[in-house]
Amino acid sequence: VELELIDWLRQELPQHADVLLGPGDDAAVLRLAPSPACVVTVDLLTEGVDFLLDEVDPARIGRKALAVNLSDLAAMAAEPLAAVVALALPEEGGMQLARQLYAGMLPLAQQYGVSIIGGDTNRWQGSLVLSITALGRPTVAGPLRRSGAQPGDEILVTGSLGGSILGRHFDFEPRVAEALILNSRYQLHAGIDLSDGLSTDLAHLVQESNCGALLWSEQIPIAAAARQLAVQHDDGCSALEHALHDGEDFELLLAVAPHEAQRILDEKPVEVPLTRIGVFTAAPGLWIQDHTGQHPLESKGWEH
């Protein structure tokens, strides 16, 4: 499998100027200069847990496996450079499956200038396991962390939230361009990508920043898919609840001082809509304000 796949990949792969040595040797070589730091992230997807092969086109799985990594690089405001791909393939139809996975990955890699610089491919008795590690270069502003939110900072979010299970959880656009533009032109205090759901990821961020947050329920941008789910399913879950708790939106959530948030909203430096959905507080915990008052907000997002 390995040699045939490497030959095929060498023909297909775009090579970034900073890749000094691509697939084919024992390891790849990447130029990191001028940055002194490299941002690294890994994600693992397992058949039966994260997806079912008889329900999903493998190309969409391949795309998603790379896209979730790019979303994590975006959350750190790092420019994606390269990725390595590890595949454990089932005995039956493994090579065909590998090609399909790569067929989904390659257009996204091309779109974001990411070189797939290597990987490892094995066959085994089990079903598909797919792991991608991505490497990125921070902007001159440095990596954007979860720990910098300050009481009084406003909460900005890209796009709209909820109902990604209807399809967006596969076909989302990682907010790489937005993160790089915002982090290089404005002073961002903290950021996270919404993989586990707004209420859960916001809890992660306030925990790292030692503060709390208050969301304004009427400002939450609710995705059309969240409204559709609320109507379709008779589980008593409102569109707002889907927007608050559904996972895999892969939008960016940012902590920004009020004057800077206002500047961003006035100047509209990115095409994707940005919405101010609340404020960070000195008091710990999560709260939501609606027309009846302020209520504690439970984190009910995706549990890994």
CB 279, min distance to Mg ion, A: 22
Q: Three-class SS of residue 22?
A: coil
Regarding 72 and contact with Mg ion (CB under 5 A), the answer is yes
CA distances to 60, 162, 174, 179, 265 from 186, rounded to whole Å, are 34, 27, 20, 10, 11
CB 195, min distance to Mg ion, A: 5
Q: Phi/psi class of residue 42: alpha, beta or left (left: φ > 0; alpha: ψ in -120 to 50)?
A: beta
CB closer to Mg ion out of 13 and 190: 190
Which residue of 47, 173, 193, 251 would you call a contact of Mg ion, by CB under 5 A? 193
Regarding 43 and contact with Mg ion (CB under 5 A), the answer is no
Give the interface size with Mg ion as a residue count (CB under 5 A): 3
Of 290, 153, 278, 293, the C-alpha closest to 210 is: 153
Which tokens in the block code for residue 37?
């730091």
Regarding 248 and contact with Mg ion (CB under 5 A), the answer is no
Regarding 249 and contact with Mg ion (CB under 5 A), the answer is no
Task: Tell me if 14 sits within 8 A of 79, measured CB to CB.
Answer: no
CB closer to Mg ion out of 75 and 274: 75
Pairing of strands 78-90, 115-124: parallel
Region binding Mg ion by CB under 5 A among candidate stretches 114-122, 156-164, 186-194, 253-261: 186-194
CB closer to Mg ion out of 72 and 260: 72
CB 204, min distance to Mg ion, A: 8
CB 192, min distance to Mg ion, A: 6
CB closer to Mg ion out of 64 and 227: 64
CB 121, min distance to Mg ion, A: 26
In a 13 Å sphere around the CA of 296, the CA atoms on its Cβ side amount to: 6
CB 48, min distance to Mg ion, A: 23
Regarding 79 and contact with Mg ion (CB under 5 A), the answer is no
Task: Tell me if 187 sits within 8 A of 271, measured CB to CB.
Answer: no
CB 91, min distance to Mg ion, A: 33
CB closer to Mg ion out of 100 and 195: 195
End-to-end CA distance of the chain: 32
Amino acid residing at 154: E
Q: Kindly give, in sequence order, each residue whose CB lies less than 8 Å from that of residue 4, ignoring residues fewer than 6 positions away.
A: 95
Region binding Mg ion by CB under 5 A among candidate stretches 71-79, 115-123, 127-135, 259-267: 71-79
Gap between the Cα atoms of 242 and 257, Å rounded: 28
Q: Where on the chain is the footprint of Mg ion (CB under 5 A)?
A: 72, 75, 193
